[in-house]
C-alpha cells in the first residue's frame, strides 16, 4: 500500500513538472514571437521612414535643379508644348515625375507658397474681406467682424494696450493653458492663427497649412499654383470658379489674370482680381506619403517647409510635420473641354 502511495506522489510530481515546463515553453515562445514581431515592425517602420526621407531629398533636388541654368543645346530637344508651359508652375500639388525618381510606393507633392494667402503680408482691409467671407458674406455680423479684426490687431501690434473690442494678455492668461499675446507684426507659424481670440472658431476644420503661409514678401495668390483651400477664402470666389481654374491650368498656364474672365463670371472676377498675381516664390511645402493613400485626399503625409535660394546651396528647412494633412488635390470638378493653344 505504501509502495502504491509513493508511485502516486511521483506521478503527480511528474505531471506538475510537465505542466510547469509546458507553461514556461508557451510563455517563452510568446515572448520570442512578440520580440520577432516587434523587430519586424521596427524594421518596416525604419524602411518606410527612410523611403520618405529619401523622397523628400529628391524633391529638394528637383527644386534646386529648377534654378540651374539649362545646358547649351538643351532647348533644341524641347517641343513647342513644353516651351509654352512655365516649369515653375508645376509645383502646384500635381503628381510629379522627378528627375531622380522616388520609390514606387512613395508619392511626392510640392506646393509653391505663392499659391497661398500670406498672413504676414495681409492688410486690414483684405483680412476683413476674408473674415466676412467666412462669416457668410453679406450676412456677416458687423460687430463680430470688428471684434475679430480688433483681436488680430491686438495680437500683432507692439503694445499691451487692448482695443475696446480686442484682447490682450489679460484675456489669454485666463485660458487653460494660459498664454500671452504675440505683440509682433509677424506670426511665427500658420497654426498660431488659432491662438487669436475667435479665429479658431472662424476657420473651424480648415487646413490652415494648405490655405495660408507666413513666408515671402508677396501678398498676391498665383492661380497657377493656388490650393483650393486658399482660393475658396477669396472674397466672391465660388466653388464653380475654383474648379474652372483647376481645369484650365491642367491644360495650359494662366498667363494673364484677364484670361480667367472667359471661364469665370464677371462679378466674381471683379472681387478676386485684386488678390491674384503671377508671382512665384522660393518657399515650398513638400509632402511625402505612402502610395496606398494616393486616392485619399485627406490622408496624412510627412510635411517639410523649405526655402530654396539657389541650385548650389542646400535648402533651408523652416518646419517639419510628420503627420500633416494633405491639401485637397482631387481632379477638377468641371470639364471645360479641350482649349485651343495660346497664340
**C-alpha closest to that of 254 among 284, 231, 277, 274:** 277
CATH number at residue 130: 1.10.40.60
State residue 301 phi and psi, 5-degree precision: -150, 160
- Statement to judge: residues 105 and 245 lie in one domain: yes
The whole-angstrom distance between residue 256's C-alpha and the CA centroid of its chain comes to: 27
Grid cell at residue 116: 497661398
> Hunting for cell 497664340 — which residue is that?
343
Q: Do 117 and 274 contact (CB within 8 A), yes or no?
A: no
How much is the pLDDT for 99? Answer: 86
Grid cell at residue 13: 510530481
How many Cβ atoms are within 10 Å of 89's Cβ, its own excluded?
A: 21
Domain that holds residue 80: 49-116+221-343
- Statement to judge: residues 190 and 327 lie in one domain: no
How much is the pLDDT for 105? Answer: 83
Report yes or no on 258 lying in a domain.
yes
- Statement to judge: residues 297 and 321 lie in one domain: yes
How much is the pLDDT for 230? Answer: 98
Gap between the Cα atoms of 197 and 180, Å rounded: 12
Query: 236 forms bridges with which residues in the sheet?
Result: none
Gap between the Cα atoms of 238 and 226, Å rounded: 14
Structurally, how many domains does the chain consist of?
2
Q: Which helix or strand (DSSP H or E) is residue 300 part of?
A: strand 300-307
Span 103-162, pLDDT tens digits:
888 899 999 999 999 999 999 999 999 999 999 988 899 999 999 999 999 999 999 999
Strand ranges inside 119-218, DSSP E = 212-213
**How many CA atoms within 13 Å lie on the side-chain side of 207?**
21
Grid cell at residue 257: 489674370
Report yes or no on 176 lying in a domain.
yes
How much is the pLDDT for 117? Answer: 98
Q: Which of 204, 238, 260 is the last residue of a domain?
A: 204
Q: Which of 204, 237, 255 is the last residue of a domain?
A: 204
Q: Do 83 and 77 contact (CB within 8 A), yes or no?
A: no
Report yes or no on 36 lying in a domain.
no
How many Cβ atoms are within 10 Å of 78's Cβ, its own excluded?
A: 10
Strand bridging mode 117-118 / 212-213: parallel
**C-alpha closest to that of 65 among 110, 129, 30, 119:** 110
Q: Which of 179, 204, 229 is the last residue of a domain?
A: 204
**pLDDT under 50: residue ranges of the chain:** 76, 79, 342-343
Span 87-101, pLDDT tens digits:
999 999 998 888 888
Gap between the Cα atoms of 259 and 245, Å rounded: 11
Give the helix, strand, coil percentages of the chain, each rounded to 5.
50, 10, 40
Report yes or no on 228 lying in a domain.
yes
How much is the pLDDT for 294? Answer: 52
Give DSSP secondary structure letters for 231-246: HTTSTT--HHHHHHHH
Amino acid at each position: 500500500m505504501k509502495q502504491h502511495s509513493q508511485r502516486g506522489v511521483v506521478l503527480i510530481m511528474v505531471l506538475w513538472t510537465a505542466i510547469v515546463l509546458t507553461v514556461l515553453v508557451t510563455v517563452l515562445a510568446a515572448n520570442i514571437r512578440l520580440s520577432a514581431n516587434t523587430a519586424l515592425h521596427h524594421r518596416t517602420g525604419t524602411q518606410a521612414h527612410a523611403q520618405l526621407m529619401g523622397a523628400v531629398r529628391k524633391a529638394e533636388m528637383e527644386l534646386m535643379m529648377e534654378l540651374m541654368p539649362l545646358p547649351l543645346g538643351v532647348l533644341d530637344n524641347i517641343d513647342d508644348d513644353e516651351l509654352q508651359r512655365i516649369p515653375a508652375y508645376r509645383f502646384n500639388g500635381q503628381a510629379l515625375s522627378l528627375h531622380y525618381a522616388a520609390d514606387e510606393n512613395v508619392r511626392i507633392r510640392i506646393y509653391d507658397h505663392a499659391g497661398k494667402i500670406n498672413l504676414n503680408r495681409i492688410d486690414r482691409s483684405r483680412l476683413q474681406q476674408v473674415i466676412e467671407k467666412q462669416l457668410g458674406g453679406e450676412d456677416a455680423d458687423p460687430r463680430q467682424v470688428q471684434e475679430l479684426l480688433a483681436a488680430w490687431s491686438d495680437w500683432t501690434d507692439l503694445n499691451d494696450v487692448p482695443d475696446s473690442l480686442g484682447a490682450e494678455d489679460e484675456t489669454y492668461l485666463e485660458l487653460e493653458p494660459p498664454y500671452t499675446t504675440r505683440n509682433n507684426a509677424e506670426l511665427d507659424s500658420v497654426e498660431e492663427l488659432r491662438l487669436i481670440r475667435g479665429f479658431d472658431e472662424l476657420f473651424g476644420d480648415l487646413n490652415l497649412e494648405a490655405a495660408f503661409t507666413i513666408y515671402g514678401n508677396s501678398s498676391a495668390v498665383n492661380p497657377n499654383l493656388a490650393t483650393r483651400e486658399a482660393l475658396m477664402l477669396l472674397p466672391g470666389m465660388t466653388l464653380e470658379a475654383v474648379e474652372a481654374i483647376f481645369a484650365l491650368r491642367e491644360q495650359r498656364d494662366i498667363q494673364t489674370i484677364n484670361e480667367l474672365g472667359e471661364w469665370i463670371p464677371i462679378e466674381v472676377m471683379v472681387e478676386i482680381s485684386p488678390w491674384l498675381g503671377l508671382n512665384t516664390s522660393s518657399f515650398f511645402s513638400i509632402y511625402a506619403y505612402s502610395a496606398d493613400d494616393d486616392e485619399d485626399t485627406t490622408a496624412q503625409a510627412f510635411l517639410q517647409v523649405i526655402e530654396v535660394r539657389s541650385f548650389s546651396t542646400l535648402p533651408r528647412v523652416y518646419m517639419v510635420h510628420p503627420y500633416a494633412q494633405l491639401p485637397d488635390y482631387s481632379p477638377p470638378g468641371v470639364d471645360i473641354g479641350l482649349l485651343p493653344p495660346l497664340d
